[in-house]
Amino acid sequence: MKRKITLFEGDGIGPEITAQLKRVFEALKLDFEYEEFLIGQRAYEKYGVLIPEEAIESIKRNKIAIKAPVTTPIGTGFKSVNVQLRLLFDLYVNFRPAKTMHGVPSKYDNVDIVTFRENTEDLYVGDEYEIEDGYVAKKIITKKCSERIIRYAFEYAKKNNRKKVTCIHKANILKKSDGLFLKTFNEMKEEYPNIIADNKIIDNACMQLVTNPSQFDCIVAPNLYGDIITDLIAGLVGGLGVAPAANIGEDVAIFEAVHGSAPDIAGKGIVNPTALLLSGALMLDYIGENYKAYLLRKAIEKTIQTKFKTKDLGGMATTEEFVNKIVNLINQSVL
């Protein structure tokens, strides 16, 4: 029986890398049926909305989606597509693993960090109002949302034999909001005595990440700090072009490449599809196709160590040549 997947090919380079993702899934002999929809800039131009109702209904039915980068039109007053989807489906976990790969240009060779970013509150609720000489933005941190993201991080560490969870905060200044997040972390860590638990103030954490990233294992953070450090950590392993991501709720998950839609290189056949392919591997893990996820990651890693890699990774291959090599390696495996 075919598994239905909601698929958004996105804007800019999105259609190109989505086509390559489908090729890889076909090579892995995955029996998927795609429900495809436009969202973002192209959807707005065609329908006057960023996320058509049919796309929302598809996610509700299928409970799983994967999306290429999208563009939110400037000056329209819309929230970003990503924020809308996270709030609409209560995707409270932003899951961002980052690991150095041989062959990817990087100053580091020892990074293996998984970040859990709270995805539904903090400043991203977008609640702003005017005061006499400016504006105020509300920062919302609740016990409920703090508890569920922190527990998710500890449970992941426990199930995946990770040794340490670090809480990121600014509780020295924001004593009530960030103080609640840190207090919740300190209470919950008592339930996991076999996992090292520590905390770092966000500014110090950023410095420590670029000076000694190997000290970090799992990180849990409120929305804003998580947004900042996940991109910083991606930079440690080669950039957003090799950074997968997942947004996970109680019964819905959306997997995505978090880099931009890069319209300036769209259609030139040179884009690096690694981030979306690795996000596809996260999706395979999520649905229980762990061995095929493993094969996909290994094929990507081996390809990056050859001449068949894209220019941004230090090679000269086209997008198609890069994925041809990945597909060939998959075909050489026993499925």
pLDDT of res. 74: 67
Residue 13 lies in a domain: yes
Residues 309, 108: contact at Cβ < 8 Å? no
State whether 140 and 246 are in the same domain. Answer: no
pLDDT of res. 118: 98
State whether 217 and 153 are in the same domain. Answer: yes
**What residue numbers bound the domain in which 142 lies?**
107-236
Q: Which of 185, 209, 236 is the last residue of a domain?
A: 236
Write out the catalytic residue numbers. Answer: 124, 170, 203, 227
pLDDT of res. 133: 94
H/E element, 293? helix 290-304
List the structure tokens of 256: 């995505």
Q: Which residues of 103-132 are buried (b: 16+ CB within 10 A; e: fewer)?
A: bbebeeeebebbbbbbbbbbebeeeeeeee
Beta strands 32-37 and 93-99, pairing class? unpaired
SS3 326: helix
Q: Tell me what percent of the residues of the chain surpass a pLDDT of 70.
A: 98
pLDDT of res. 109: 87
pLDDT tens digits for range 106-144: 999 889 999 999 999 999 888 999 999 999 999 999 999
Confidence grade of residue 26 (pLDDT, cut at 50, 70, 90): very high
Q: Which of 201, 236, 271 is the last residue of a domain?
A: 236
Angle (deg, nearest 10), helices 223-236 and 202-211: 10
Give the CA distances from residue 161 to residues 42, 154, 226, in Å, rounded to whole numbers and listed in that order.
43, 10, 22
pLDDT tens digits for range 230-256: 999 999 999 999 999 999 999 999 999
The whole-model pTM stands at 0.94
Residues 302, 311: contact at Cβ < 8 Å? no
Virtual torsion, Cα 316, 320, 321, 327, nearest 10 deg:
140
In terms of Cβ atoms closer than 10 Å to its own Cβ (0-12, 13-18, 19+), residue 11 is buried
State whether 43 and 88 are in the same domain. Answer: yes
pLDDT of res. 312: 92
Q: Which residues contact 311 (CB under 8 A, 6 or more apart)?
A: 270, 317
Residue 197 lies in a domain: yes
What's the total number of domains in the chain?
2
Tokens 């919950």 — which residue?
188
Among 118, 139, 119, 117, which residue's Cα sits nearest to residue 127?
A: 139
State whether 261 and 329 are in the same domain. Answer: yes
State whether 166 and 139 are in the same domain. Answer: yes
In terms of Cβ atoms closer than 10 Å to its own Cβ (0-12, 13-18, 19+), residue 260 is middle
Residue 167 lies in a domain: yes
Residue 10 lies in a domain: yes
State whether 120 and 225 are in the same domain. Answer: yes
Sign of torsion, CA 98 100 102 106?
positive
State whether 30 and 126 are in the same domain. Answer: no
Residue 16 lies in a domain: yes
Q: Which residues contact 210 (CB under 8 A, 6 or more apart)?
A: 232, 236
How far apart, in whole angstroms, are the C-alpha atoms of residue 105 and residue 310?
12
Q: Which of 236, 260, 282 is the last residue of a domain?
A: 236
For residue 76, pLDDT over 60 is answered with no
Q: What is the mean pLDDT of the segment spanning 210-224?
A: 97
State whether 231 and 126 are in the same domain. Answer: yes
For residue 77, pLDDT over 80 is answered with no
State whether 272 and 335 are in the same domain. Answer: yes
Residues 270, 230: contact at Cβ < 8 Å? no
State whether 229 and 304 are in the same domain. Answer: no
Residue 276 lies in a domain: yes
How far apart, in whole angstroms, are the C-alpha atoms of residue 68 and residue 184?
35
What are residue 37's DSSP bridge partners?
8
State whether 17 and 87 are in the same domain. Answer: yes
Residue 102 lies in a domain: no
List the structure tokens of 277: 């392919």
pLDDT tens digits for range 130-180: 999 999 999 999 999 999 999 999 999 999 999 999 999 999 999 999 999
List the CATH number of the domain containing 309.
Answer: 3.40.718.10
State whether 200 and 119 are in the same domain. Answer: yes
